[in-house]
């Protein structure tokens, strides 16, 4: 059986489903027999889930206005300095 | 979710083609689609509002400048993320007085994977908090990570880049991404356990 340390080393690959079948079996056997590692796996999964569910908040209005102005200025300058069309 | 403007009906390759011809509306639509995510990414890495705004502007300026070089082999978003990451890292490096760990400092001390606290969480712990409270908890936890871990975590688990894309964006190896990601995830898990543990449980265990 894998040690807890060995299990932890593989945790990220296991969560990202990039371990091979043989290692997966070993890892799952460890989880079934080790309550601590089961909790670590479960709470790490929840950690990732909660971050993935986080939506990007609106940009502050003034930041957005300055961005769009800068973009428009840049594009206006780009047009006058043309001659380098995209590939 | 992309803004539903008139230009929203165009797919990305159409918008890119128009933007290359200097169509302001098309490029603005691309900016609107991704500006929130780029701003969030820049804020997470630089942890500074002014730097994040600079990064945001620079990212779209540079992407417009180099639009001709963008081959369309990767997604437009992945491409601008790379620009944003470079700009953000430059900001970090410029802040000499910042007591953060340099990005290239050896990190593999092994200590970062030590698990100190093991407690069962609620099934949907995030539901106990308001959106604002939750965002604050999550942001502060990420801010507490060393920059090298933080950047990898932000790219992989918040912006959802692949391991390879993250390695490319940061100029580090795939194994380095994996090892930093593991440490970041375990450290965050530990930090969040304080907030999300099932009430009534007081189980501590040590490995």
Instruction: Quick: pLDDT tens for B44-71.
Output: 999 999 999 999 999 999 999 999 888 7
Q: If you average pLDDT over every residue of chain B, what do you get?
A: 84
Distance CA B68, CA A85 (A): 7
CA distance B180 to B170: 12
Q: How far is A43 from chain B (nearest CA, A)?
A: 6
Is A80's pLDDT higher than 50? no
A43·B189 Cβ contact <8 A: yes
Using an 8 Å CB-CB cutoff, list chain A residues near B121: 42-43, 46
CA nearest to A10 within chain B? B182
A15-70 confidence digits (pLDDT tens): 999 999 999 999 999 999 999 999 999 999 999 999 998 888 889 999 999 999 99
CA-based nearest residue in chain B for residue A83 = B21
* Confidence grade of residue B34 (pLDDT, cut at 50, 70, 90): very high
d(CA A75, CA A82) in angstroms, rounded, equals 10
Would the pLDDT of B111 be above 80? no
What confidence tier does B42 reach under pLDDT thresholds 50, 70, 90? Answer: very high
Contact check, Cβ <8 Å, A87/B160: no
Res B206: pLDDT: 42
- Domain ranges in chain A are 4-80
Show the domains of chain B with their CATH numbers: 6-94 (1.10.1740.10), 111-196 (1.10.10.10)
3-class state of residue B114 by DSSP:
coil
Residue-level pLDDT at B7: 44
**What is the mean pLDDT of the segment spanning B117-135?**
86
Q: Which of A13, A41, A56, A78 to mutate to test the interface with B (most CBs of B within 10 A)?
A: A56
Whether residue A84 and residue B21 make contact (CB cut-off 8 A), yes or no, is no
- Residue B81 confidence (pLDDT) above 90: yes
Q: Residue B29 has which token pair?
A: 């639509």
Residue B101 has pLDDT above 70, yes or no: no
Q: Is the pLDDT of residue B1 over 50?
A: no
Q: Which of A54, A81, A67, A26 is nearest to B140 (CA)?
A: A54
Please measure the distance between the N-terminal and C-terminal CA atoms of chain A and give it in whole angstroms: 56
Query: Residue B12 pLDDT > 50, yes or no?
Result: yes
If phi over 0 gives left and psi between -120 and 50 gives alpha, with beta otherwise, what is residue B68? alpha
In the DSSP assignment, the letter for residue B74 is S
Which residues sit opposite B197 in a β-bridge? B121
Query: Tens digit of pLDDT for each residue in A12-30?
Result: 999 999 999 999 999 999 9
Q: Which residue has the tokens 């908090």?
A: B129
Q: Which residues of B touch A84 (CB under 8 A)?
A: 68
The whole-number pLDDT of residue B54 equals 97
Cross-chain Cβ contact A36/B186 below 8 Å? no
Q: Which of residues 105-134 of B touch A (CB under 8 A)?
A: 113, 115, 118-121, 125-126, 134
pLDDT computed for residue B30 by the predictor: 94
Burial of residue B46 (number of CB atoms within 10 Å: 0-12, 13-18, 19+): buried
- Name the band, by pLDDT with cuts 50, 70 and 90, for residue B96: low
How much of chain B exceeds pLDDT 90, in percent? 56
Contact state of A74 with B64 under an 8 Å Cβ cutoff:
yes
Domain at A4-80: CATH code:
1.10.10
Q: What is the pLDDT of residue B174?
A: 95
Spatial separation of the C-alpha atoms in residues A66 and A69, rounded to whole Å: 5
- Whole-prediction pTM: 0.82
A72: chain B residues, CB-CB within 8 Å: 24, 28
- Give B 32-91 residues with CB within 8 A of chain A: 35-37, 39-40, 53, 56-57, 60-61, 64-65, 67-71
pLDDT at B4 over 90: no
């Amino acid at each position: 059986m894998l040690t807890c340390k060995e299990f932890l080393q593989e945790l990220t690959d296991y969560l990202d489903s990039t371990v091979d079948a043989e290692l997966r079996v070993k890892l799952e056997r460890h989880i079934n027999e080790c309550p601590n590692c089961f909790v670590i796996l479960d709470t790490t999964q929840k950690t990732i889930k909660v971050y993935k569910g986080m939506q990007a908040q609106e940009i502050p209005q003034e930041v957005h206005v300055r961005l769009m102005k800068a973009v428009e200025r840049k594009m206006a300058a780009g047009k006058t300095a043309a001659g380098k069309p995209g590939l | 979710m992309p803004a539903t403007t008139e230009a929203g009906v165009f797919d990305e390759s159409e918008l890119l083609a128009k933007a290359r011809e200097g169509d302001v509306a098309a490029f603005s639509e691309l900016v609107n689609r991704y500006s929130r995510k780029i701003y969030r990414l820049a804020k997470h890495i630089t942890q500074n509002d002014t730097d994040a705004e600079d990064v945001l502007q620079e990212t779209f300026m540079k992407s417009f400048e180099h639009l001709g070089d963008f081959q369309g082999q990767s997604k437009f978003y992945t491409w601008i993320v790379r620009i944003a990451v470079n700009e953000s890292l430059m900001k970090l490096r410029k802040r000499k007085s910042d007591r953060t760990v340099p990005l290239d400092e050896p990190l593999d001390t092994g200590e970062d994977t030590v698990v100190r606290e093991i407690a069962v969480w609620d099934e949907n712990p995030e539901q106990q908090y308001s959106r604002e409270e939750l965002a604050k908890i999550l942001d502060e936890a990420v801010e507490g990570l060393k920059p090298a871990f933080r950047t990898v975590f932000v790219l992989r688990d918040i912006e959802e880049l692949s391991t390879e894309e993250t390695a490319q964006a940061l100029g580090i190896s795939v194994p380095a991404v994996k090892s930093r990601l593991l440490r970041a995830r375990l450290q965050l898990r530990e930090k969040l356990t304080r907030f999300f543990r099932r009430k009534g449980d007081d189980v501590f265990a040590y490995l």
